[in-house]
């Protein structure tokens, strides 16, 4: 199970690589600048302990799984994550499979993708609805193009 974050997260903030992510669909095109979690350790730590997310910030778990294997079902939780998140599960073709909106802070209940995914995008809770982001929209980032 992947988490939305391990230790206190302050080290992660200082060394985080960021990437631009674009979500395009019927609600328009929206750009985010998010931290990239591309290793198993970064994906395990995720956004735990973080309270400083910007409206167009977040974290991209790509590739998922981090070992570069084929897409598979993902399951996330909110343990040690104090802020609600929208967890966006992305298919190998770049389309959104599922959006788990406003996930419950600190919950250890699994948040499943429902189908195999190749990446996961976490953004502040409520942003997907606010921006009109929906299942089927397309998600792109530099290494995906």
Q: For the chain, which domains are there?
A: 2-144 (2.60.120.1140)
Q: Looking at residue 144, what is its pLDDT?
A: 72
Tell me which DSSP letter residue 103 carries.
P
The 3-state secondary structure of 14-40, one letter per residue: HHCCEEEEEEEECCEEEEEEEEEECCH
Alpha-carbon distance values, 139 to 23, 29, 31, 90, 115 (Å) = 5, 10, 10, 7, 17
pTM (two decimals): 0.89
Convert the pLDDT of each residue in 51-64 to its tens digit.
Answer: 999 999 999 999 99
pLDDT score for 4: 56
CA angle, 46 as apex, 43 and 47 as ends, to 5°?
170
Angle at 17 between CA 101 and CA 92, to 5 degrees: 50
The stretches of 29-84 forming alpha helices (DSSP H) are 40-45
Average pLDDT of the segment spanning 101-123: 98
User: What is the C-alpha end-to-end distance of the chain, expressed in Å?
Assistant: 27
Reported as a pLDDT band with limits 50, 70 and 90, residue 68 is confident
Q: What is the largest CA-CA distance in the chain?
A: 39
Whether residue 138 contacts residue 102, with contact meaning beta carbons closer than 8 Å, is answered with no
Reply yes or no: is the peptide bond before residue 48 cis, omega within 30 of 0.
no
């Amino acid at each position: 199970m992947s988490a939305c974050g391990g230790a206190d997260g302050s080290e992660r903030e200082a060394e985080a690589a960021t990437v631009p992510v674009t979500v395009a669909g019927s609600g328009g095109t929206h750009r985010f600048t998010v931290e990239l979690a591309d290793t198993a350790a970064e994906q395990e730590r995720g956004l735990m302990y973080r309270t400083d997310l910007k409206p167009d910030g977040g974290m991209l778990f790509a590739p998922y799984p981090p070992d570069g294997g084929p897409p598979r079902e993902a399951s996330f939780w909110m343990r040690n994550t104090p802020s609600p998140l929208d967890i966006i599960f992305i298919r190998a073709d770049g389309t959104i499979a599922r959006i788990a909106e406003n996930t419950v802070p600190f919950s250890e209940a699994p948040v499943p993708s429902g189908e195999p995914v190749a990446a996961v995008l976490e953004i502040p809770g409520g942003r997907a609805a606010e921006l009109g982001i929906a299942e089927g929209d397309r998600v792109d980032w530099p290494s995906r193009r």
